[in-house]
Amino acid sequence: MLSKKSKYALKAMMVLAKEYGQGPVLISDLAQREGIPRKFLELILLELKNQGLLQSKKGKGGGYFLRRDPQLISVGHIVRVLDGPIAPLPCVSKMAYMRCRECRDERTCGIRIVMKEVRDATAKIMDSTSLADMLKHVEAVVTGNESLSFAI
C-alpha cells in the first residue's frame, strides 16, 4: 500500500510539474492547495530535494521547483525514494531481497510466483509513468477524453 508520505509527495510533485518553468512554489501554497499538513510536507520536500528531484530557492520569490523536466521523473522513482522497494514481499524485491524463513523452495512457492508478477506489473506501470503522463491523464479526465490508459 502506498504510504501517506508517498501520496502527499505525488500530490505536491504534480503541482510542481504543472508549474514547471514558472518559478518556485511556496510550501504554504502547496500545503494549502493539496490539503497536506505543512510540517509533514516540509520533511517530504526536503527528502525529495536531498535525493535530487527538487531544488529550492530561499528568500522573496523562493520555494521549491522540479530539478528536471516532469517527463523525466517517474512515479516509481518518487515512491522508491520515500517508501523503499515496491515489492509486496521481501523475497521478490530487487532492491531489498530477503529470503522468507518459512519458505522451503522459492522456485516453487506459489505466493512468491504471484507476488513477483504483482511486483513486475506495478513497477512497469510506475516506472513508465512520468509526472507529465499523470498530468495528461488528469487533463483527459477533466476534458472527458478518458481514452488514455497506463501501460501494463
pLDDT at site 17? 97
Indicate whether 147 pLDDT > 70: no
* One domain, residues 124 and 104: yes
* One domain, residues 27 and 52: yes
CA–CA separation, 77 and 32 (whole Å): 25
| 3-class SS letters over 138-150 | HHHHHHCCCCCCC
- CB under 8 Å to 97, separation ≥6 — which residues? 90, 91
* One domain, residues 49 and 109: no
- Helix 131-143 to helix 4-18 angle (10° resolution) is 80
Residue 100, domain member (yes or no): yes
* One domain, residues 79 and 61: no
Last residue of a domain, one of 20, 42, 66: 66
Indicate whether 67 pLDDT > 90: yes
Q: Residues 112, 99: contact at Cβ < 8 Å?
A: no
Q: Whose CA is closest to 16, among 5, 28, 24? A: 24
* One domain, residues 61 and 87: no
| pLDDT band at residue 140 using 50, 70 and 90 as cut-offs | confident
Residue 148, domain member (yes or no): no
Q: What is the number of domains present in the chain?
A: 2
State which residues form the domain around 34: 4-66
| pLDDT band at residue 149 using 50, 70 and 90 as cut-offs | low
| pLDDT band at residue 148 using 50, 70 and 90 as cut-offs | low
CA–CA separation, 4 and 83 (whole Å): 10
CA–CA separation, 31 and 40 (whole Å): 9
- In terms of residues, how long is the chain? 152
What does the pLDDT look like over 18-60, one tens digit per residue?
999 999 999 999 999 999 999 999 999 999 999 999 999 988 8
Last residue of a domain, one of 26, 49, 66: 66
pTM assigned to the model? 0.86
Average pLDDT of every residue of the chain: 91
* One domain, residues 30 and 93: no
* One domain, residues 31 and 81: no
Residue 152, domain member (yes or no): no
pLDDT at site 145? 74
* One domain, residues 101 and 49: no
